[in-house]
Structure 1
């Protein structure tokens, strides 16, 4: 499919203007909490901004151009790393909590790895998803897993379709869904809020932010600890979670897939065929393999191809200026106040963001999100000579407001994936809900066993 147009000045204006407007409206709508039985549902600006951004991106009356989406995508990474920089400044002062929750942190990682495989995979097999069940339930399927699935299985494989389905649903609705399930669990009183905070380390910044926002509203007196532990857990997941998923989760899911196929009497000849191909006993292009894969519904989900995301120093400078200025504007709108130190604090956060992105470019195996969390944590630990200064500068910056424009842009880019989303079977929706829910519930349950009340 050919690329449509190129990114012009008007695209930057539309992407920036609409995202700021949507974010401002989300802040003005504010927070709303209501109870459903023993649970509490919390709706707050982060939820509104994702939903309103999605409406803008998916509506057909004044559809966004592909070039505008590309401009928006160029603005997203800096803002998300900036958000993590601010979140990381809360980890350093709370680093002593690691000793207390160390075992709980480890157990939530175990819960995240096996929760979906043990609980969601058999249901996906029972629904008759075929090998797509493996891709949908071996992990929570964020960007790193999607890239691995493309490389490992190819874009026409059932495994990839499963990964892609959960990924696109998570990109569209993950932050909203995680905030809702977290608020429900938090409102029941069954879990310690720090157990739920640890469970939010799923490797997705937007999902983690959604859960942190919900918990912070339910437990305002523990908001700092909740944000710090969630960020720490997310850091651990970004470092070791992917490798655990590749080397432990995926092999386990493949073996259990065969087991559940036998239990539910679902045909699984493709697993044996794949093993024979891997051992060289059946040619990779064998017709019988192709027929069975086509019968299973192999098809690459098409999507419009937007222009390449702009790169270079001009888009880079634009992204930094936008993240800083929009963050300060929304912080002022949401908190009702502005202090000169807020601008200085934002400058410090942007500096850490720039360093992290530079290091990620030099050491490509480690993403900028990992670098910035480590850097922000290091400079705010009690042993850091600048910890007090940084804490003073960022004390009035609200972490739940800084990343709103970028989340609005995430919603606005969904128009590109409209066709792909419409082609998803209802089964993948069920699988995604199961994957997200079991990840949080299993992680929180195991963490709860080791949290010191």
Structure 2
């Protein structure tokens, strides 16, 4: 995508306005039974972005062309990079606590099996779904999980329909569901806050951001520690999650499906669309591919986050050094991503760089941590959700309609089972 389109002033100005409005509304607490639901600024930013999406309402195209929506797509990944760096900066100062909780951080990944134990029986026995239930329930259905299903079954089959259905629902609502779950469970007091933070690491970057943000909003006194545990968990998930899904979760899903009496049913017409959508995923240009263009777009994303930070963070002057540090950390991480002899996602390298630079023995780490304190991690993730709402394409809206109410229910069960299962394992180990 041309640089001029990525730097479209309409897109970034709109995101600034939506972010400032969302931050001004602030955190809304809604009592619900014994607990409380937390509605965060990122929730409003996403909803407002969706409502202004030109692919949803034709009237929006008058002032927001579809090209602006298309330009928002790569901005999601690029704009979340500074948040990942801010995320990692909470890990370095808390390294001693993380080491002491090491076994819980590593083994809580097995809690992902709660995904299928909750959702698969409902899919097969209650909703009478066929083999699409395997693709839908064996994982949380992020990009690596799509690759596994594509390689083993193909995306035009029922398993592909299932995984892509959950992917679409997760793209549209997963972030918000994780935030609501985390905030509500935190208010109940049933779990150690560290266990809930570790469980946040099982999701995508935006899910982790929303989940940990909700926990920090519920327990502001523990915010830095909770971010550290969530960030470390997410980092370990990159190393172990793919293999747990491939060698444990998928075989268990197949076995359980057969034991529940599941049978093959014809895939819906969504298969072709799913295949096309996954192909688009593989074609998406990674940020490290063109570092010059990424550096320019990243600078714009940092400016947007810097302005959004003024409501609940610090003034522009006070936050400037911190935002520059996050920008530099992100670029270093992307350079390493491109130069490394083995592949590790850019967000993982960015996180590792920020962890290293904030470790107690790193030169100047105390000053770095002090400057980053002026950058509110929730404020800089709010624009990410605004970009996400604006970026939803006509295909994603179409796929969402085709998934039907069954896959929506299953998707929410998948997210719930994954999060609660991981939290239970972490709680036991802690």
Same fold (TM over 0.5): yes
Moved more, 124-133 or 309-318: 309-318
Partner of 1:62: 60
Partner of 2:379: 401
Q: Does 1:299 align with 2:271?
A: yes
CA distance in 2, matches of 1:86, 1:406: 14
Map Cα deviations across residues 239-264 of structure 1 (whole Å, 9 max, x no partner).
11112111211111112111112xxx
Structure 1: gaps (5+ residues) = 271-291
CA distance in 1, matches of 2:190, 2:291: 50
TM-score, structure 2 normalization: 0.90
Q: Does 1:439 align with 2:418?
A: yes
TM-score, structure 1 normalization: 0.86
1:46, CA displacement in angstroms? 1.2
Q: Does 1:250 align with 2:282?
A: no
Moved more, 58-67 or 115-124: 58-67
Q: CA RMSD in A?
A: 2.5
8 Å contact kept, 1:135–1:162: yes
The correspondence for 1:324, drawn from 302, 321, 333, is: 302
Partner of 2:335: 358
Q: Which protein is bigger by CA-based radius of gyration? A: 1
Residue 299 of structure 1 aligns to a residue in which SS?
helix
8 Å contact kept, 1:345–1:393: yes
CA distance in 2, matches of 1:332, 1:368: 28
Partner of 2:123: 124
- Matched residues, number: 417
1:434, CA displacement in angstroms? 0.6
Change beyond 3 A, Cα 1:78–1:106: same
Change beyond 3 A, Cα 1:370–1:318: same
CA distance in 2, matches of 1:343, 1:447: 37
Residue 191 of structure 1 aligns to a residue in which SS?
coil
Residue 42 of structure 1 aligns to a residue in which SS?
strand
Partner of 1:273: none
CA distance in 1, matches of 2:170, 2:270: 22
8 Å contact kept, 1:301–1:423: no
8 Å contact kept, 1:213–1:400: yes
Structure 2: gaps (5+ residues) = none
Residue 272 of structure 2 aligns to a residue in which SS?
coil
Partner of 1:207: 207
Map Cα deviations across residues 151-205 of structure 1 (whole Å, 9 max, x no partner).
3322211111111111111111111111111112111111111111111111311
Match runs of 1:252-401 below 5 Å: 252-261=252-261, 266=262, 268=263, 270=264, 293=266, 299-301=271-273, 312=290, 315-335=293-313, 337-340=315-318, 342-363=319-340, 365-401=343-379
CA distance in 1, matches of 2:78, 2:46: 18
Map Cα deviations across residues 206-258 of structure 1 (whole Å, 9 max, x no partner).
11111112111221111111111011111111111112111211111112111
Q: Does 1:82 align with 2:102?
A: no
CA distance in 2, matches of 1:431, 1:118: 12
CA distance in 1, matches of 2:4, 2:321: 32
1:10, CA displacement in angstroms? 9.4
Change beyond 3 A, Cα 1:9–1:187: closer
8 Å contact kept, 1:326–1:405: yes
Q: Does 1:100 align with 2:77?
A: no
Change beyond 3 A, Cα 1:167–1:140: same
Change beyond 3 A, Cα 1:6–1:90: closer
